[in-house]
Amino acid sequence: MRGKRQDVTVSPNGRERPIDRERLVVAALDLADEEGGEALSMRAVAKRVDRQVSSLYNHVSGRGELIELVRARIVASIDIGAFDHEPWDVALEAWAKSYLRAFAAHPKLIRLLATTPIRDVSTFAMYDAVVTSLVSSGWPIQDAVAVMRTVEAHVLGSALDIVAPGDMLAQSAVPAELATIRAALDPAHAESYGAGPAFRLGLEALLSGLRARRERLTH
Binding positions for a copy of itself, 106-165, rule CB under 8 A:
107-108, 110-111, 114-119, 121, 124-125, 127-128, 131-132, 135, 141-147, 149-158, 160-161, 163-165
CB of 76 to a copy of itself, least distance (A): 17
Cβ-based neighbours of 107, under 8 Å, separated by 6 or more: 159, 160, 163
CB of 137 to a copy of itself, least distance (A): 12
17 forms bridges with which residues in the sheet?
9
Whether 24 contacts 49, CB under 8 Å: yes
Nearer Cβ to a copy of itself (90/169): 169
Rounded Cα gap, residues 134 and 13, in angstroms: 52
Asked if 40 touches a copy of itself (CB under 8 A), the answer is: no
Nearer Cβ to a copy of itself (19/75): 75
| 119 residue type, one letter | R
Stretch that binds a copy of itself, among 10-18, 19-27, 52-60, 104-112 (CB under 8 A): 104-112
Stretch that binds a copy of itself, among 13-21, 22-30, 43-51, 202-210 (CB under 8 A): 202-210
Fill in the per-residue mask, 177 to 196: x = in contact with a copy of itself (CB under 8 A), - = not in contact: -xxxxxxxx---x--xxxx-
Q: At what angle do helices 88-104 and 195-218 cross, to 10 degrees?
A: 150
- Of 5, 131, 35, which is closest to residue 80 (Cα–Cα)? 131
